[in-house]
Structure 1
Amino acid sequence: MINDLDGIDWASLGRAGGAAGDVSGWLRGMVSPDPDVREKAFAGFCSAALHHGSVYPSTVASLPFLFAMAHDPATPDRAGVVTLLLNIGREAADAEETCAVIVGEDGEESSIYPDTARLIRERVADFVACTRDADPRVRAASIEGLGLFLDDAEHAVALRENRLVEQSGAAERELVVRTTADLALRLPEAAMPARAWLDALAESTATDPDTRLAALVHRARCAPDAIDDQTVPTAFSLAYSELLLNINRSRVVCRFPRQAG
């Protein structure tokens, strides 16, 4: 799809500081085999089309190409592309309520933030697919998208349970737990099952202390009224247990040579 970039009149679209004639070049650079070129391309795109979190017409026009890159196995840094999509969606979602309509310098009204958030939500299946990706970096980058963009509470709860079972890394498990809290805060119909699941996870002795601590913290985050006199002691206990586990994992047994005589 990257070959279709020339079919868009980028120079007629806006970006930070003016016309977006250079945005297509940044998009091409993102799939370069040269790491330095890719790094400059991501930085250039963010400076031009996501400057300080602002969304522009060129940003919206880039979305189909970014989604195509995210799903193309030939893309060298798919995790970086998924993260970029996540950042665009997050900025649009955060701004859509306060900036439902913005007025440009020419006096023309625009609903670009809610429109962009809607477009990202319509592609939430892409984030769901990426959570099953073989690359752990792609999975980690996409998990947060479920909490931000998935509007089907029942589907979200089922996905959350499956992802925790499948994700073996502590960092990914923490992301699943945090995403569950995001869902509880954003979707009222997901709040009760999400809180119950976090409670059960925090109390599960079959779960590692780090994940249990994350569940306890995020349970308090999405239901601060449920914090009681056992919350803090339990958090300290789990943190101490995880500290001991880490010490045991990193302990080195030193063997000293036996002295003669």
Structure 2
Amino acid sequence: MTHSRSRSHSRSQTEQPRPAGLPAFQTLLDSTNWASLATACGTGESLPAALTLLTSPDPVIRESALQDALGPVTHQNSIYEATVPVALFVAAILDHPAITAGDHCHDATTRPTLVQLLDWLGGTAYDANDECVAFDESLYGEGCLDEFAEMRAFRDARPAIFSAVQALLGHDDADVRHSALIAAIPLIEHPLLTRHQADLAGHARRLLAASTDRHHRDRVLDALKAWGHETRGLENTSDIAAREHYARLRAARASRDGDWTGGGYSEDPPF
């Protein structure tokens, strides 16, 4: 069964000791029965080859492998049987020399592999966050998560994934540390990780002081509000305009369709 938010390598000699709960990437690659795991387009039989290319020293090869490795396990915001081992593999290669060395070797039109992997982890974590669970419970009843084994498995894996993401929160490159923060925010909803809220709040304030990225600003402002922080003094004129725009969109949607947030899904637009 899949859960949809849209309703409905040769062994590397450079592998480092992994954080607790996060296996080495080669172990994940070798020990997973990929062909038995469902994806959006069949099974994960082709995933090992694509995942292996993510650690290629050639950034062009890595770039072309991203869609083949990640697309089949997150199609239409769904989580599949193969999503969790792919997510753990991605977390396990965040410090791989080929990826970290490529941070400053990309052209102006291509984001570093490290940033793209963090963005994928964050997007997938948002697809399995508490808000999604609340929405599903409004549709299918409390406890429906028991029926969504793939989502439950991803949520259980959040501490292991966070252990790799956390190491990048202080990265020298602003794009990397900001993407790490956005990925960390939904991960720390796990009960074992909520103690990291104060630390992430500090990172969030630093992002707001430096970044103009609309998506990043929206995510950290929403997180700070959810954690009980006053955010009005942190907003700039663009944030205020965006907040007012989202409010107008919500009002128009509610007027047309009824109270569309009544089922527990309250994330701000864009739709």
For residues 182-216 of structure 1, the C-alpha deviation after alignment (integer angstroms, 9 at most, x for no partner) is: 3424xxxx22xx12xx23334xxxxxxxxx22554
Q: Which of 130, 139, 144 is 2:182 aligned to?
A: 144
Q: Which of 91, 116, 131 is 2:127 aligned to?
A: 91
1:1-261 mapped onto 2 (5 Å cutoff): 1-4=24-27, 5-75=29-99, 76=102, 77-93=113-129, 95-97=132-134, 98=136, 101=144, 109-120=147-158, 123-151=161-189, 155-165=196-206, 169-171=210-212, 175=216, 178-185=219-226, 190-191=227-228, 194-195=229-230, 198-202=231-235, 212-214=236-238, 216=240
Cα gap change, 1:165 to 1:53, in 2 (>3 Å): closer
SS at match of 1:71: coil
For residues 123-167 of structure 1, the C-alpha deviation after alignment (integer angstroms, 9 at most, x for no partner) is: 334333322112222112122124323236674244323453478
Range that drifts further, 153-162 or 142-151: 153-162
Cα gap change, 1:131 to 1:223, in 2 (>3 Å): farther
Identity among equivalent positions (%) equals 20
Q: Matched residues in 2 for 1:35 and 1:130: separation?
A: 20
Give 1:117 shift. Answer: 2.6
Cα gap change, 1:117 to 1:30, in 2 (>3 Å): same
Give 1:42 shift. Answer: 0.9
Aligned residues: 202
Q: Which amino acid aligns with 1:58?
A: A
Cα gap change, 1:121 to 1:38, in 2 (>3 Å): same
Q: Matched residues in 2 for 1:181 and 1:125: separation?
A: 23
Q: Output the TM-score relative to the length of structure 1.
A: 0.63
Whether the 8 Å contact between 1:147 and 1:183 is mirrored in structure 2 is no
Q: Matched residues in 1 for 2:75 and 2:40: separation?
A: 6
Q: Matched residues in 2 for 1:175 and 1:182: separation?
A: 11
Q: Which amino acid aligns with 1:89?
A: A
SS at match of 1:60: helix
Instruction: Find the structure with the greater CA-based Rg.
Output: 1
Whether the 8 Å contact between 1:29 and 1:38 is mirrored in structure 2 is yes
Whether the 8 Å contact between 1:133 and 1:139 is mirrored in structure 2 is yes
Q: Output the TM-score relative to the length of structure 2.
A: 0.61
Give 1:90 shift. Answer: 1.6
